[in-house]
Amino acid sequence: MILGNLTAAPAPLKKVHGPIGRAPFMTSSTLLKVFAALAVLSATAYFWLWYEMGEAPHGMLLQVSAGSLLIALVASLVNPDTRPRLMLRFLAALFALFTLISFAADVSRPRSDGEGAISLLQHLQNLAPAFLSALEHTVSHQISPILWDPVLTTFLSLPATMIFLLIAVGCGFMGRPRRRVRIFANDY
């Protein structure tokens, strides 16, 4: 009788997640959903107020939306289960294509007086000057003028090839497939 109890399989243990047996309330996927919803709601409220009043409301709603979107993005990238791998792989391929195009533009243009690679700011000034001026106006008036002049202009003054390559490598690294861990227990 005692020998029979020793060879029987043990009873499975109950999974206890929280203090009273419930699943934890705040997980990274919950935070992702909350902050993504907050970003969408505040951006929607901003544009609805803009539409109703006819002029742009205070930039606080846009700042809340941008902050919430950033937190949701970080929450989605931190947890491997909520990471959007397919989208990140697509973005990696897209930015790799942008890298090749900007590299070809740098290599194929005639050099004069020691010019180096074309910066992203120069590309934007040549290809989309209205977008660049709207971006400058929005960032300096809605968020902060300090964010535009030393921060974004320094970043945009880097060579476009390097910026696109860094974004492509970052997206490719975050979008890589998960490695499966196989654990084998040998009872010999």
Q: How confident is the model at residue 1 (pLDDT cuts 50, 70, 90)?
A: very low
Do the beta carbons of residue 141 and residue 147 sit within 8 Å? no
pLDDT digits (tens, 9 = 90+) for 160-175: 889 999 999 988 888 8
Selected residue with higher pLDDT from 114 and 124: 124
Helix intervals (H) in 25-148: 28-53, 60-78, 85-108, 120-127, 129-138, 145-146
pTM: 0.57
User: What is the tens place of the pLDDT at every residue in 30-78?
Assistant: 777 777 788 888 888 888 887 788 777 777 777 787 778 777 777 776 6
Instruction: Tell me how far apart the alpha carbons of residues 71 and 77 are, in angstroms, rounded to a whole number.
Output: 10
Using an 8 Å Cβ cutoff, are 61 and 43 in contact? yes
